[in-house]
Amino acid sequence: DVDVYDPSALAGSLHRRAADVLEANWTGTSTVPSRGLYPHQWSWDSAFIAIGLRHLSPLRAQTELETLLDAQWGDGRIPHIVFNPSVPLDAYFPSPDFWRSSTAGRAAGAPLTTQTSGIVQPPVHALAAWLVHRSDPGLSRARGFLSRVYPRLAAWHRYLLHRRDLGGGGLASVVHPWEQGMDNSPTWDAPLARITPAPARSFRRADLDHGAAEDRPTDLDYGRYVRLATDYRDGGYRDRAGGGYRDRAGGGYRDRAGGGNRAGHGEFGVEDPAFNALLIASEHALARIAKELGATDTARHARAERLTAALVERLWDPAEGMFFCRDVIGDELVPERSVSGLLPLLLPGLPRAIVAALVRTAHGPRFGLGDSTRLAPSYDLTGEAFDPHRYWRGPAWFNTNWLLERGLRLHGETGRADALRAAFLTTAGESGFAEYVDPYTGEACGALGFGWTAALTLDLLH
Ligand code: 9WN
């Protein structure tokens, strides 16, 4: 009887459709987030994609991460985009001729032949490498996968923990909204307001060729993104941490030379809860990788615990029951409620009271889980800036919901994790593996056949 509801058959076809998306987005050495909108390799996308790909081909999943790591800079940074030289320059903006990595990034050790961007994205990579290893330890050992990626991942974390500790409190800062990955979140509105936008005629957006303008960031946002990236590039992609720029007595930022912003970079610096939680989760994963490779010291786990304490001390707001971003320029919390502020739920070492508060906030009126929304929105439903369709200002994204599901399960919230998993799978399938969806209706927004949506679907099916 064809009308009989058969969940296993549905799961089977969902699995096949998700696998088809990853097959279609595979280039031979890595996976594009989307053939039209994002035709290159993106850093955190690749980490999430590898986590799903491991269920189809552990070899491809290893290759995905190794391709990304081959583009690592000498100073340890993993660039947020690795450009595919066979894609036309005008297919994506900003293109390699904007970033000029091999020349402008020379002092920071950018690769000579591969073209990349010069900013970073959230460090999901060590977590991904560990999960990929676990999917086929035999193949991983035979290929020496972990011993090859370990030193690179360690250098990546060193870069973030030293060169990016702009606030002086032990956490990593992002210097551009694209680095945190939630480009136009209302969290950035205040820190971005001090940035003079680049003139609209000085660049051409390629994203509007593929996405609806009302679902994408505004031209004003783009002007500021371009200004920040240009200034960072023109300063040779140098980072300002480690030189004692922090004026501890005054609490504000002081230029070492005392003369305003050096080379123009340094106007934007934010400690973000999700970025740092992913760094900590990846630090725990690096500890497991080190152990698998025969190391005996427990320094990495201890460091992850210290970072968790710093995260709580610097970003937790007990009255609000969630984490906030800290603007390191003004040294103050940014009072905007982004889903980023729930993602530390991922961490094993979080105090129980904080876990309980995060679960309450996620299931309360601001994020609506288990009640008004299908999936957690990217931003507070009751916030003034909430918009159910505009990119990171409200729509639900699948990577953040996968992280929340993982956090709920880790902390024993099995019923809630099961409910979120079911909603994730239904919405991913119905939306055609959309990039993001209306959090209430699940209506598809942005690109379809999106890489991490398909990959994380596969992961939750396993
Ligand atoms: C800029 C690729 C990336 C994601 C980001 C998402 C979006 C780029 C853009 O697409 O950002 O990096 O052009 O809008 O915000 O999280 O990694 O999928």
Each residue's pLDDT tens digit, 369-426: 999 999 999 999 999 999 999 999 999 999 999 999 999 999 999 999 999 999 999 9
Check: CB of residue 361 under 8 Å from CB of residue 370.
no
User: Which residues, in sequence order, are CB contacts of 334 under 8 Å at separation 6+?
Assistant: 187, 190, 191, 270, 324, 325, 326, 327
Given a cut of 80, is residue 297 above it in pLDDT? Answer: no
The C-alpha atoms of residue 93 and residue 95 are separated, in whole angstroms, by 5
Q: Which of 260-274, 293-307, 439-453 has the lowest mean pLDDT?
A: 260-274
What is the edge-to-edge ordering of all strands in the sheet holding 325-327? 173-174, 270-271, 325-327, 332-334
Strands (E), 212-269: none
Place of tokens 């920071």: 108
By DSSP bridging, strand 322-323 and strand 316-317 are antiparallel
> Would you state the pLDDT for residue 3?
56
Percent of the chain with pLDDT over 90: 89
Report the chain's mean pLDDT, rounded to a whole number. 93
> Would you state the pLDDT for residue 259?
32
Check: CB of residue 127 under 8 Å from CB of residue 142.
no
The pLDDT confidence band at residue 93, using thresholds 50, 70 and 90, is very high
> Would you state the pLDDT for residue 11?
79
Higher pLDDT pick, 272 / 253: 272
Place of tokens 């293109």: 95
Going by alpha carbons, the residue nearest to atom 6 of ligand 1 is 181
Summarised one tens digit per residue, pLDDT across range 38-91 is 999 999 999 999 999 999 999 999 999 999 999 999 999 999 999 999 999 999
Given a cut of 90, is residue 263 above it in pLDDT? Answer: no
Going by alpha carbons, the residue nearest to atom 14 of ligand 1 is 183
User: Which residues, in sequence order, are CB contacts of 86 under 8 Å at separation 6+?
Assistant: none
The pLDDT confidence band at residue 1, using thresholds 50, 70 and 90, is very low
Question: How much distance in Å is there from the Cα of 193 to the middle of ligand 1?
Answer: 21
The C-alpha atoms of residue 171 and residue 129 are separated, in whole angstroms, by 22
Given a cut of 90, is residue 266 above it in pLDDT? Answer: no
Q: What is the mean pLDDT of residues 245-255?
A: 36
> Would you state the pLDDT for residue 296?
81
> Would you state the pLDDT for residue 242?
54
Check: CB of residue 59 under 8 Å from CB of residue 26.
no
- Give the pTM: 0.94
> Would you state the pLDDT for residue 254?
38
Of 119, 179, 183, 184, the residue with max ligand 1 atoms within 8 A of its CB, to mutate for a pocket test, comes to 183
Specify the long-range contacts of residues 66-72, CB closer than 8 Å, at least 24 apart. Answer: 66/145, 66/148, 66/149, 67/29, 67/30, 67/41, 68/30, 68/41, 68/43, 68/125, 69/125, 69/149, 69/152, 69/153, 70/111, 70/114, 71/111, 71/114, 71/116, 72/111, 72/152, 72/155, 72/156
Which residues are known catalytic residues?
183, 435
Given a cut of 60, is residue 256 above it in pLDDT? Answer: no
Determine the distance from the C-alpha atom of residue 388 to the mean position of all C-alpha atoms in its chain, rounded to a whole number. 20
Report the atom number in ligand 1 closest to the C-alpha of 399: 16
Check: CB of residue 341 under 8 Å from CB of residue 367.
no
Question: How much distance in Å is there from the Cα of 365 to the middle of ligand 1?
Answer: 28
Q: Which of 3-17, 18-32, 227-241 has the lowest mean pLDDT?
A: 3-17
Report the atom number in ligand 1 closest to the C-alpha of 81: 12
The C-alpha atoms of residue 451 and residue 52 are separated, in whole angstroms, by 9
Of 45, 120, 178, 393, the residue with max ligand 1 atoms within 8 A of its CB, to mutate for a pocket test, comes to 178
Of 34, 38, 99, 176, the residue with max ligand 1 atoms within 8 A of its CB, to mutate for a pocket test, comes to 38
Question: How much distance in Å is there from the Cα of 19 to the middle of ligand 1?
Answer: 22
ipTM passes above 0.95: yes
How deeply is 257 buried, as exposed, middle or buried, from its count of CB atoms within 10 A (0-12, 13-18, 19+)?
A: exposed
Given a cut of 60, is residue 252 above it in pLDDT? Answer: no
Strands (E), 134-201: 173-174
> Would you state the pLDDT for residue 4?
63
Question: How much distance in Å is there from the Cα of 320 to the middle of ligand 1?
Answer: 29
Report the atom number in ligand 1 closest to the C-alpha of 178: 12
Summarised one tens digit per residue, pLDDT across range 314-349 is 999 999 999 999 999 999 999 999 999 999 999 999
Report the atom number in ligand 1 closest to the C-alpha of 45: 17
Torsion of CA 10, 127, 96, 217, to 10 degrees: 60
Closest CA to 111 of 87, 82, 86: 82
Question: How much distance in Å is there from the Cα of 249 to the middle of ligand 1?
Answer: 38
Question: How much distance in Å is there from the Cα of 45 to the middle of ligand 1?
Answer: 9
Q: Ligand 1: residues within 6 Å at CB?
A: 33, 38, 42, 44-45, 80, 178, 181, 183, 207
The pLDDT confidence band at residue 9, using thresholds 50, 70 and 90, is confident
Report the atom number in ligand 1 closest to the C-alpha of 43: 17
